[in-house]
Amino acid sequence: MIVSFLILTENGALHNSGKALQKHSKALRWLYQVQAGNIVLTYFTEGGMTMRLSPFMWMLMLTSAVGALTPLIASADTIKIAFIDPLSGPLAAPAHNQLNSFQLIAELANKGKWAGDHKMEVVGFDNKGSPQESLIQLKAAIDLGYHYITQGSGSGAGLALLDAINKHNERNPGTEVVYLNYASSDPDMTNSKCSFWHFRFDANSDMKMEALTTFMAKNKAIKNVYIIGQNYTFGQSVSRSAKMYLERKRPDIVIVGDDLHPLGQVKDFSPYIAKMKAAHADTIITGNWGADLAMLIRAAKDADLKADFYTYYAGTSGVPTAMGASGAGRVKVIGYWHPNNETFSGKEIVESFKKKYNDDYYGMATYTEIAMLSKAVKDAKSTDPVKVAFALEGMRVQSLNGEVLMQKTDHQLQQPLYISSWTQINGKDIKYDQENTGYGWKTEHKIESFLASQPTSCQMKRPGK
């Protein structure tokens, strides 16, 4: 008589057979059979040996063996991601939207088993918009056992986290942390300060400005440009690249103003708007986000400024309400996706997010990030951050804006970009509005990935595998 057994193989996998089951490995070579009421346990060695045990002794030994082997059985992990962004203060609204977006996409990933049996969980850590507080929250996350962090609201905080993670990983091998950057877009993060431990899922600010100024250069009505931004690395980068690219593409354009203001501290933007009117600006370029952009747009509306706005983040929380009807045709945004895209890709997510949170899903990087992290875990057959980081390099996935590539040379995601205008919805090509305004985004121009790409100065240093 021959019975079936479950047996743990050398690599931790379980096999089941309806007949005699033999494991051919150096570590374990057993054959279990029942012959005339006796359990025959045969251990195969080079010389060969057979042991006959009573049923009681066999069960006792088997119970002990299973108990000893249980820790070796591979189990599903919960991959916990620390979301470190401002969840309080004047810049909190976009961060709350993005945290909810991550959590919704994590739910989809778990239901769809994107990472196999592993689960994704995204937990918020409030950095209050401060680089210093970001480091405190990073330490708290590491102490709690997090190996993956995500951040996007502010390159100042992003650069502080990047430096701290580099130092932590160098000093603490075996407890590495991977930084998944969903929106901090300072170009240095994938150029001179690139790191093996950092992956960016947004286009950097130079990539966006290159596309934006190429589009602007074709508009001969643009004569006088005013640049305004937040006074930190990202705002400074936007100012620098705008001037450089416009000089190259449209040297006839005059830069009539270039202001940097404190991040998240200005309560009244009317003095800046007065300067724009006095300078006869017909076009405004800004990298502002959060309340700083909402209040800037509102001040422009109140002063009846007749200028077009070319923005990076007009689609983020609070800004659509500030624009309302007055922004129609005047406000444009450069981004990687919007819900009124050519195929309405992502519409199911947009609708489920609206139903669950009564809010708008606009941060598509949350989808790309979770999709890539899930695939990396499956490809690496591990949740180990070092193995997962190697698996992310050169990865391609199908995201909501088409196929995207995590470039191996600098860990900068390569993806299409869209230039869109604020337009009244019509139920046809513009179906989805924002913040119940009756207005949404209409594509003016799409830039394919190979055109949006830029050279990099990154000299990547990788750990040994």
Give CA–CA dist 114/375, Å, rounded: 7
- pLDDT band per the 50, 70, 90 thresholds, residue 54: low
pLDDT of 194 strictly over 70: yes
| Domain's final residue, options 304, 335, 366 | 335
**Over 80: is that where the pLDDT of 48 sits?**
no
Q: Which carries the bigger pLDDT value, residue 415 or residue 75?
A: 415
Residue 55 confidence class, pLDDT cut points 50, 70, 90: low
pTM of the entire structure?
A: 0.83
pLDDT at 284 > cutoff 50: yes
211 and 331 inside one domain? yes
In a domain, 296, yes or no: yes
For the sheet with 308-311, list strands across it.
254-261, 224-230, 283-286, 308-311, 331-335, 417-424, 439-447
- Provide the token pair at 113: 């088993």
* Per-residue pLDDT band at 38 (split at 50, 70, 90): very low
- Single residue among 28, 48, 72 that ends a domain in this structure: 72
In a domain, 340, yes or no: no
In the structure encoding, which two tokens stand for residue 237, read together? 């980068």
Residue 384's pLDDT is 97
The domain total for the chain is: 3
The pLDDT of residue 49: 45
Measured distance CA(1)–CA(356) in Å, rounded = 58
Note whether 280 and 392 are same-domain residues: no
The pLDDT of residue 88 is above 90: yes
Burial class (CB in 10 A: 0-12, 13-18, 19+), 255: middle
Q: Which two tokens stand for residue 325?
A: 């009807």
Q: Same domain for 30 and 59?
A: yes
227 and 316 together in one domain? yes
Q: pLDDT tens-digit profile of 345-402?
A: 999 999 999 999 999 999 999 999 999 999 999 999 999 999 999 999 999 999 999 9
Which of 168 and 38 is assigned the larger pLDDT? 168
Same-domain check for residues 46 and 128: no
- Clarify whether residues 22 and 108 are in a common domain: no
pLDDT in tens, 152-181: 998 999 999 999 999 999 999 999 999 999
pLDDT of residue 28: 38
Q: Are residues 306 and 359 in the same domain?
A: no
pLDDT at 103: 98
Structural domain includes residue 111: yes
* C-beta atoms surrounding 332 within 10 Å: 23
CA distance 316 to 195: 28
Does 210 share its domain with 186?
no
Domain range enclosing 267: 206-335
Buried b (16+ CB within 10 A) or exposed e, 67-81: eeeeeeeeeeeebbb
Question: Would residue 422 count as lying in a domain?
Answer: no
Between residues 218 and 16, the one the model is more confident about:
218
- Rounded to the nearest integer, the mean pLDDT of the chain is 88
How would you class 89 by CB atoms within 10 Å of its CB: exposed for 0-12, middle for 13-18, buried for 19 or more?
middle
* CATH code of the domain covering residue 107: 3.40.50.2300
Residue 274 lies inside a defined structural domain of this protein = yes
For residues 308-332, average pLDDT: 96
Q: Are strands 283-286 and 308-311 parallel, antiparallel or unpaired?
A: parallel
Residue 465 is predicted with a pLDDT of 73
Instruction: Please indicate, yes or no, whether residues 198 and 247 belong to a single structural domain of this protein.
Output: no
Which whole number is the average pLDDT over 215-221? Answer: 97
**Per-residue model confidence as pLDDT tens digits over 227-270:** 999 999 999 999 999 999 999 999 999 999 999 999 999 999 99
131 and 251, same domain (yes or no): no
Whether 253 is in a domain gets the answer yes
pLDDT, position 76: 80
Residue 260 lies in a domain: yes
- Rounded distance, CA 454 to CA 156, Å? 22
Average pLDDT over residues 19-37: 39
Residues 87 and 149 in one domain: yes
